[in-house]
Amino acid sequence: MAEDTGDGSTAEMDDYETLMSTTDAELLKTAWRNEKAAPEILQFQAPLVKRAKEQIQLMEETVEEYEESGMDPLTVSLYQMDLDRAHFLLRSYLRVRLQKLEKYMFYIWKNESLWSRLSDPEKMFVQRCIDDMEKHLEETVLSKLPDNYQSVRRQSVISEEDDMVPEPQLDTFIACKARNRFVSLRLADSERPLEMERHDVSFVLYKVIEDKIGADIDLV
């Protein structure tokens, strides 16, 4: 009898994990974790958010229909738990993005690359926040200062950069794991690449992996 090496079961397990990781609930959870761990704002997951909203609406209608039809309370509670979980994931994802928008609004607004990552409602929110903040500061503080110090974003007119605008710290180490079965990362201070297998966790500079997040790498 041939000896079972276990390679078949390992491959089946990998295929199962891949399938489970592609469900919208898992994708939304991953997007939330990536957004929460990344120092800068990431690309808005528009198709995923749209599908999540549609699924939530369908689940709400299903729960309401089951309650009205006298469905078994246990069954209704299970559907309600799924609905609550979907609400939590979507709200958490949108909330962490909102926190970044509020903290780095001026930096995002002047950076074309980051600005392009926002949804249309997020762009409207940032623009409205900037307009309201500038108006408030000008009316309450800046108008009472000397002309050289009436900038919202610069300490004085001699400043060459927006030195009063908070910026995300990209030179920071973060924990990440390989999404695919094999990932090779080129490190700036090493001649040898960092090789990671699926689910391997490493601490690396954010700048090294920022263009791989959501594709080859997920944050932890």
Query: How far, CA to CA in Å, does 12 sit from each of 5, 7, 8, 36, 155?
Result: 13, 9, 6, 31, 60
**Range list of β-strands (E), the chain:** 173-178, 182-185, 194-197, 201-205, 217-219
Going along the chain from its start, the domains and CATH numbers come out as: 169-220 (3.40.5.60)
Which pLDDT belongs to residue 20? 44
Which pLDDT belongs to residue 1? 42
Closest listed residue to residue 108, CA positions, set 208, 206, 39: 39
Which pLDDT belongs to residue 216? 84
Task: Report the Cα–Cα distance between both ends of the chain, in Å, rounded.
Answer: 43
Which pLDDT belongs to residue 2? 41
CA–CA distance, 38 with 213 (Å, rounded to integer): 9
What is the sign of the dihedral through the CA atoms of 197, 202, 207 and 211?
positive
CA–CA distance, 83 with 55 (Å, rounded to integer): 9
Which pLDDT belongs to residue 92? 96
DSSP letter at 193 equals: P
Which pLDDT belongs to residue 116? 96
Residues β-bridged to residue 201 = 177
How many other β-carbons are positioned within 10 Å of the β-carbon of residue 162?
A: 16
pTM of the entire structure? Answer: 0.80
Which pLDDT belongs to residue 190? 64
Q: What is the residue-level pLDDT of the chain in tens, covering all 220 positions?
A: 444 444 555 445 444 444 445 688 899 999 999 999 999 999 999 999 999 999 999 989 988 888 888 888 888 888 889 889 999 999 999 999 999 999 999 999 999 999 999 999 999 999 999 899 888 888 787 777 777 776 777 766 666 677 678 889 998 999 988 887 777 777 766 667 777 877 788 888 898 888 888 888 899 8
CA–CA distance, 183 with 198 (Å, rounded to integer): 8
CA–CA distance, 112 with 31 (Å, rounded to integer): 22
